[in-house]
Amino acid sequence: MEGTSVQMLLAVVSVLSCTTDQGSTARLTLSPSSSQFFEGDSLSLSCEEDDSSAGWTLRRNTTKQRTQCGPDWGTSAGSSCNISYIDTLDSGVYWCESREGATSQSINITVSARLTLRPSSSQFFEGDSFSLRCEEDDSSAGWTLRRNTTRETRTQCGPDWGTSAGSSCNISYIVPSDSGVYWCESREGATSQSINITVSGGAVILQSPVLPVMEGENITLICRTQTSSDLPADFYKHGSLIIDRPTSHVTILHVSKADEGVYRCNIRGHGESPPSWISVTGTPTTTAPPTTGAPPTTTAPLPDPDPLQQVFTVVRYLVVFCPYVISTVLMVSLYRHRPTGNHLSVSMVMTPPTHAEQGLDDGHDDVTTEHQF
C-alpha cells in the first residue's frame, strides 16, 4: 500500500513539473505577408507573444551568419523588427527566440534582384529604345538580362540582342520581334520578377504599368500615337467599353483586385492598341502574367536552419505531450492496483490457548458428579 502511494505522489510531481516547464510561446508574423521579396522592398517582423517578460527577440540565419535584429540588421522595436531596404543578402531563415531559449516557428524569406525598365511602360512603338537593369547589391552573383520571345528562349543580353553593360541592357532600336518576357538571372539560377513588353508596329499604343500595382494605389492609362499623347480615346476592359472620354488618359483611383484585367484603347481615325494586362496585388508577386512564355521559377537556395533551433523544437513538443503521457501511466498504475470483490484478502490469526483455559479443560475431564438419595 505504501509503494502505491509513493508511485502516485511521484506521478503527480512529474505532471506538475512538466506543466510548469511549458513556459510562454510566441508566433512570428510578417508584414506584408509573403516569403518572396525584391531588392529595395521593406518588411516588418513581429513576435506575437503571451508573456512580454520572456524577452522575445528576432533572429535569423543568412549566408553570412546567425545574428539578432538591432545590433546587426534592421531596427528593433520591442518584440518587432523593421527592415526599410532589403537586398539579396537578407535572404534566410527568421524566427523569434526568448531569453530562456524558447523559439517560435521559422519563416524562410527570399530576396531577389529587382528588374527596372526605363521608360516604364508595357508597350512601345517600333523604333523606340529602352533600358533594363537588375538592381542588386551583390555584384558577385553575376546578374544578367534574359528573355523569351516568339523566336528565341532564354537568350542573354549581349551575345544575342541588346548591348550589355554590367547588370544593365540597352536596346537602341526595337522591333515587334523584341516583344516578350524579360527577367534577371544570377549565375546560380536565381531570378527576379518578370515583365511583359509589347512592341507594336501599329499607330496606337496603351501606356500602362509594367509591374504589378499594389491595392490602394492610383494608376494612369495613356492612349497615344507616335506623334501625339493628347487625342480623344475610348478605353476597354476585357473587350467592353468602360470609358469614353474626350482626353487621351484616364486615372483609376485606389485600385483593387476588381480592376485587374486586360485593357486596350482606341483612337478614332488612328486605330486600336495591343492588349495590356494590368495586375493588382496586395503582396509582392514574382511574375506578371506572360503572353509568350515565362522564365524559370528557380529561386536562390536558402540557408539550413540552425541545429540548435531544431533541438529546441523537439524539446518543446516533448514538453507539451509530457502531461498526457504521465496521466496515462498514472491511470494504468491505479487500475492495476485497485482491489476487486473476488480477490479480497482475509487474514485469520490462530492464538494458542492460555494456561487457565488449559486447566479448565483438564478439570472437566476429571470431574465426577455424585447423587445421594
Domain 113-281 coded CATH 2.60.40.10 = yes
Residue 213 CB neighbours (<10 A):
18
User: CA nearest 184: which of 164, 212, 214, 208?
Assistant: 164
Residues of the chain with CATH 2.60.40.10: 2-111+306-325, 113-281
How many Å is the maximal CA-CA distance in the chain?
169
Contacts of 116 (CB under 8 A, 6+ apart): 132, 133, 135
Residue 57 CB neighbours (<10 A):
19
Q: How far apart are CA 81 and CA 57, in angstroms?
A: 8
User: CA nearest 61: which of 111, 112, 25, 107?
Assistant: 107
Indicate yes or no: pTM above 0.75: no
pLDDT in tens, the chain (373 residues): 445 554 554 444 444 444 434 456 889 999 888 887 888 888 999 999 876 777 898 999 987 677 899 877 899 988 899 999 888 888 899 999 998 889 999 999 988 888 999 999 999 999 999 999 998 766 667 889 999 999 999 999 998 899 999 889 999 999 999 999 999 998 888 888 899 999 999 999 999 999 888 889 999 999 999 999 999 999 999 999 988 777 899 999 999 999 999 999 999 999 999 999 999 986 433 333 334 444 444 333 333 445 555 555 555 555 555 666 677 767 767 766 666 554 444 344 444 444 444 444 444 444 444 444 3
Summarised one tens digit per residue, pLDDT across range 83-99 is: 998 888 888 999 999 98
* 295: preceding bond cis by omega (within 30 degrees): no
Domain 2-111+306-325, CATH among 1.20.120.140, 3.40.920.10, 2.60.40.10, 3.30.750.24: 2.60.40.10
Contacts 24+ apart (CB under 8 A), 54-57: 54/23, 54/24, 54/26, 54/98, 54/99, 54/100, 54/102, 55/98, 55/99, 56/26, 56/96, 56/97, 56/98, 56/104, 57/96, 57/97
User: CA nearest 155: which of 14, 22, 204, 164?
Assistant: 164
Q: How far apart are CA 353 and CA 331, in angstroms?
A: 48
Quick one: pLDDT at residue 186?
A: 87
Quick one: pLDDT at residue 9?
A: 44
Q: What is the CA radius of gyration of the chain?
A: 40
Reported as half-sphere exposure (CB side, CA atoms, 13 A), residue 312 has a value of 19
